Amino acid sequence: MPLQAFQYAESFALRMDEQDPLRRFRECFFIPEQNGKPVIYLCGNSLGLQPKQAANYIQKELDSWARLGVEGHFQGENPWVYYRKRSKHALAALVGSSEEEVVAMNQLSTNLHLLLVSFYRPKPGKYKILTESGAFPSDQYILESQTRFHGYAPHDAIIELTPRDGKHTLETDDILEALDRHSSELALIIMSGVQYYTGQRFDMARIAAAAQRKGIPVGFDLAHAVGNVPLSLHAWGVDFATWCSYKYLNSGPGNVSGVFVHQRHARSFDLPRFAGWWGHEESERFQMKKGFKPMPGADGWLLSNDNVLGLAAHQASLDLFMEAGLDNLTKKREQMTGYLEFILYQLNERKNVIEIITPKDPNSRGAQLSLFVHKEGKALFEKISEAGVVCDWREPNVIRIAPAPLYTSYEDIYKFAVAFEKALHAID
Ligand SMILES: *Cc1c(COP(=O)(O)O)cnc(C)c1O
């Protein structure tokens, strides 16, 4: 919908909801309440809401455990030794890969370390890592500790890309230029897919293509990208990626992470890796023999048997994504974020208190808009929170607003705007 067609009016928002082909999915989630009213939940980038079906999916496995005990591993509707495989179809669709290229396991930070064991192979003179500045803290700690582990000093081995003076986000050309300039000393390029603070979506396709041309492994942390923006990891030639499932993937606090390893590494059995019995060739796993023989594909990085109760909640959400259709979700996300942006510009016109630091181009962002607040940011945030808006505050002065097209309504966006407008008046 063209920008000029949007209106900051309740009737307009309600009409948009009526015409929304995905509107019934809101009913599939529990919306938290504040003072007896549903909150305006714009925090799906931090913790997605609970699918109502999650409890049923978990209960089914609790029932199998109750009825079958250990036999549940091989019996029941979803034998636990294969439970993880249920998620492959949806995960492959979400990240743009084959099923062999993805696996659900562990948690994000753990997986990033495991993948770096295989894909960060520094050598004298070619040991550096190119990444964005201001990455999520866990990612910073992971890279620091990995470089130290290999005997390098983080400040020397990690090259951080910073935006141009006066800018909040990176230019793709600057990323590619740095990649080119440092290529002879780079052992790895790793970035987020969607930056957690600014909401910028990086041009993963171009970055991966450039890295490949130079023969440098490239990986992405997709914590804020998966379930949010369309991904084509296989076609882009990305070497590896990992993500968590509790943000846009609505799988519950701390739930299972996912991993992608490109097909070209599927049978690179000599790639160094930290092994565990669940990554061993499935047909021989229970022979309990000496000698690790990795499974082909991403499964070869598995360590442990599955956390089935966690995977059950994960599956409840993945099934909703498949039912809703990823193209439909992308369309709604773009339109809804555009509507949010349109309203924010209107409200800010006279006051100029906020600056949207997330890129304007829908291809350079996902659902999230990050508002850089020039004065009284914390007070503004507290005012909207009191009015029932759930979003988040990131020091020093950013409010992150993230609709989730599976459950956010246009009415939510309108109500958020009313609360925001009142708060703007109040801090004046
Ligand atoms: C949310 C997030 C994490 C969280 O890591 P966990 O291991 O799941 O606790 C890591 N990196 C990024 C970029 C994130 O957005």
pLDDT tens, 75-130?
Answer: 999 999 999 999 999 999 999 999 999 999 999 999 999 999 999 999 999 999 99
Residue 112 Cα: closest atom of ligand 1: 7
CA of 244 to the centre of ligand 1 (A): 7
CA of 142 to the centre of ligand 1 (A): 11
Q: Residue 186, Cβ neighbours under 10 Å: how many?
A: 23
Q: Answer yes or no: is 166 within a domain.
A: yes
Tell me if 302 sits within 8 A of 279, measured CB to CB.
Answer: yes
Is residue 428 scored above 80 in pLDDT? no
CATH of the domain at 333: 3.90.1150.10
| Cis amide leading into 396 (omega within 30) | yes
Residues 259-297: tens digit of each pLDDT: 999 999 999 999 999 999 999 998 888 888 889 999 999
Q: What is the share, in percent, of the chain residues with pLDDT greater than 90?
A: 91
Whole-angstrom distance, CA of residue 387 vs CA of residue 415: 10
Q: Answer yes or no: is 265 within a domain.
A: yes
Same domain, residue pair 285 and 399: no
In the predicted model, what is the mean pLDDT of residues 382-403?
Answer: 94
Give the DSSP H/E element, type plus range, for residue 210: helix 204-213
Same domain, residue pair 171 and 259: yes
Same domain, residue pair 206 and 136: yes
CA of 108 to the centre of ligand 1 (A): 6
The domain boundary residue, chosen from 322, 352, 376: 322
User: What's at 419, amino acid-wise?
Assistant: A
Q: Answer yes or no: is 344 within a domain.
A: yes
CA of 223 to the centre of ligand 1 (A): 6
The separation between CA 225 and the C-alpha centre of its own chain, rounded to angstroms, equals 4
Q: Answer yes or no: is 59 within a domain.
A: no
Q: Answer yes or no: is 422 within a domain.
A: yes
Same domain, residue pair 309 and 330: no
Report residue 426's pLDDT band, with 50, 70 and 90 as the boundaries. confident
Same domain, residue pair 123 and 268: yes
Mean pLDDT of the chain: 96
Whole-number pLDDT of residue 355 = 93
CA of 372 to the centre of ligand 1 (A): 22
Whole-number pLDDT of residue 3 = 58
Residues 297-352: tens digit of each pLDDT: 999 999 999 999 999 999 999 999 999 999 999 999 999 999 999 999 998 887 78
* Residue 113 neighbours by CB under 8 Å, 6+ apart: 142, 146
Whole-angstrom distance, CA of residue 353 vs CA of residue 58: 46
Same domain, residue pair 310 and 331: no
Same domain, residue pair 256 and 123: yes
Q: Which domain holds residue 23?
A: 3-51+326-427
Whole-angstrom distance, CA of residue 200 vs CA of residue 198: 5
Q: Which protein residue has the closest C-alpha to ligand 1 atom 10?
A: 138
Whole-angstrom distance, CA of residue 50 vs CA of residue 29: 6
Same domain, residue pair 157 and 176: yes
Same domain, residue pair 41 and 15: yes
Whole-angstrom distance, CA of residue 393 vs CA of residue 416: 15
Domain count, the chain: 2
Name the phi and psi angles at 145, rounded to 5. Answer: -70, -30
Q: Which protein residue has the closest C-alpha to ligand 1 atom 2?
A: 223
Whole-number pLDDT of residue 66 = 97
CATH of the domain at 119: 3.40.640.10
Residue 224 Cα: closest atom of ligand 1: 15
With the most atoms of ligand 1 within 8 angstroms of its CB, the residue from 47, 108, 113, 201 to mutate is: 108
The domain boundary residue, chosen from 290, 322, 354: 322
Same domain, residue pair 202 and 215: yes
Report residue 63's pLDDT band, with 50, 70 and 90 as the boundaries. very high
Q: Answer yes or no: is 148 within a domain.
A: yes
Q: Answer yes or no: is 60 within a domain.
A: no
Residue 111 Cα: closest atom of ligand 1: 7
Same domain, residue pair 283 and 346: no
In eight-state DSSP terms, residue 349 is: T
CA of 109 to the centre of ligand 1 (A): 6
Residues with CB under 6 A from ligand 1: 107-109, 136, 138-139, 192, 196, 221, 223-224, 244
Range 75-83, long-range pairs (CB < 8 A, 24+ positions): 80/305, 80/306, 80/308, 81/305, 81/306, 83/306, 83/308, 83/311, 83/312
Q: Residue 152, Cβ neighbours under 10 Å: how many?
A: 17
Range 411-414, long-range pairs (CB < 8 A, 24+ positions): 411/10, 411/13, 411/14, 411/17, 412/40, 412/41, 412/42, 413/13, 413/336, 413/339, 413/340, 413/343, 414/8, 414/9, 414/10, 414/12, 414/13, 414/343
Residues 86-96: tens digit of each pLDDT: 999 999 999 99
C-alpha closest to that of 122 among 87, 88, 147: 147
In the predicted model, what is the mean pLDDT of residues 46-58?
Answer: 98
Residue 363 token pair:
């291809």
Helix axes 410-426, 326-348, angle to 10 degrees: 20
Tell me if 335 sits within 8 A of 1, measured CB to CB.
Answer: yes
Whole-number pLDDT of residue 2 = 60
Q: Answer yes or no: is 66 within a domain.
A: no
The domain boundary residue, chosen from 322, 354, 370: 322
According to DSSP, the residues that pair with 40 across neighbouring strands are 389
Same domain, residue pair 123 and 165: yes
